[in-house]
Amino acid sequence: MGASRLERGRALLKALAAVLGAAFSVALISTAFFRWNLRGGSLLTPRFPLGDFVRSLPHHLVWWVPFMLLQASLIPLRAVQWQATLRRRIPFRERYHLVAIGAFVHNALPGKLGEVTRAFLLSRTERVPFVRCLGTVAVCKLLEFACLMLLVALSFLGPFAPTLARFRTELRVALSLCIGLVALVVLLAHWAAPLGSWLHRRHSLPRVDSFLSHVGEGLGTARSFRGLAKVFLFSIPPVLASATAYSLALQGIGVRGGLFAGAVVLGAISLGQAVPGVPAGLGIYYFVTSWAARELGASPESAAAFSALTHLGTVFSQVAVGTVSVVARKLRLKDLRKGGKLASEAVHHVAHEAVEPAVP
């Protein structure tokens, strides 16, 4: 009886969190189209005539199509990058399909668990511990973030520097976060496995020593400057492709010098959506992108179009490419919905057994 009541309580809390997250996301999305007046008067004031906004959308196709193509190119570019963190040679076709399926999960299903899903699928197909696979993906994402921060810093040296100066404080925070994360990963890469071995020799905390060993193996690329440099080099193409996509979009909506500001907007998006599983992720995207576009000089109407079309372009392109891989691998949607749960079970197995996990 007590266990059943506890389960119902947890289900209720999850449902409440989902409702609150959805409401907060809708409120954030609305900021692209409305002003919130919390000091009295009309609560919501349109930023522009919505009818004119809808009629103007076809004029943005000139930059929207190249934007989608560049976003679709991220999947093969990340498949190439991933091999730099893997100790075993994995065929490109295999890596491509797993990255594409992860992109599908990230954009088509709630939870933003695409990276977790691709790591789990690699652990299942290649019989590699899940935590080790997740570590390789984490190194990829971290080096992409570091590459992006460098590109953002370089953007402040271009002709658009006076306009970008208003983002200087945010850049300092992002750079500090990036340096801290790199330092943490390097420390884990060097010391997680030795600490696990020490615990194993003492026959204490066997579950923890197994987990630390797998973490150390997964982050192995970060043990040397050469390894980090190699992954950083392969991280440049996907970051450049995505930053170029946003630069073209900013230029397309009339932002003067927008070709130099795409990395800044991409950096703001990356920071806003850094934590997976946040239910308000879509709202954060609209809030950040519309605010950044307005700060860079776009009209409210153009800023809203920028938010809506870059979101739809990303989703359409990556879901379309990912669907091909989902069909090729004969996966079912219900299998992918379980991706987060199955990955959690894999983590639990690795943490509680001192053997290689047999993934279902």
DSSP annotation string for 180-194: HHHHHHHHHHHHHHH
Structure tokens at 305: 């179009």
> Cα–Cα–Cα angle for 62, 63, 69, nearest 5°?
110
Cα–Cα distance between 92 and 20 in angstroms, integer?
41
For 115-133, letters b (16+ CB in 10 Å) and e give bbbbbbbbbbeeebbbbbb
Q: Which residues have CB under 8 Å from 34's CB, separation 6+?
A: 44, 45, 46, 47
Q: Which residues contact 297 (CB under 8 A, 6 or more apart)?
A: 163, 255, 256
Residue type for position 255: V
- Identify whether the C-beta of residue 25 lies closer than 8 Å to the C-beta of residue 311: no
Q: CA-to-CA distance for 250 and 266, rounded, in angstroms? A: 11
* Tens place of pLDDT per residue across the chain (360 aa): 455 767 777 777 777 777 777 888 888 889 889 988 877 667 788 888 888 888 888 889 999 999 999 999 999 999 999 999 988 899 999 999 999 999 998 888 877 788 888 988 898 888 888 888 888 898 898 889 888 888 888 877 766 667 666 666 766 776 677 777 777 777 766 666 665 665 555 555 555 555 556 555 656 676 677 888 888 899 999 999 999 999 999 999 988 877 888 888 888 888 766 555 555 578 888 998 998 899 888 899 999 999 999 999 999 999 999 999 999 888 877 666 655 555 555 545 554 443 444 333
Sign of the dihedral defined by the CA atoms of residues 265, 267, 268, 269, in that order = positive
Chain mean position to CA 99: 12
CA 177 to chain CA centroid, nearest Å: 16
* Sign of the CA dihedral running 340, 345, 350, 356: negative
Residue 34: DSSP 8-state: E
**Beta strands 44-46; 34-36: pairing state:** antiparallel
Q: Are 297 and 203 in contact (CB under 8 A)?
A: no
Q: pTM of the entire structure? A: 0.81
Question: How big is the chain, counted in residues?
Answer: 360
- Residue 274 sits at the vertex; the CA angle it makes with 227 and 184, to the nearest 5 degrees, is 40
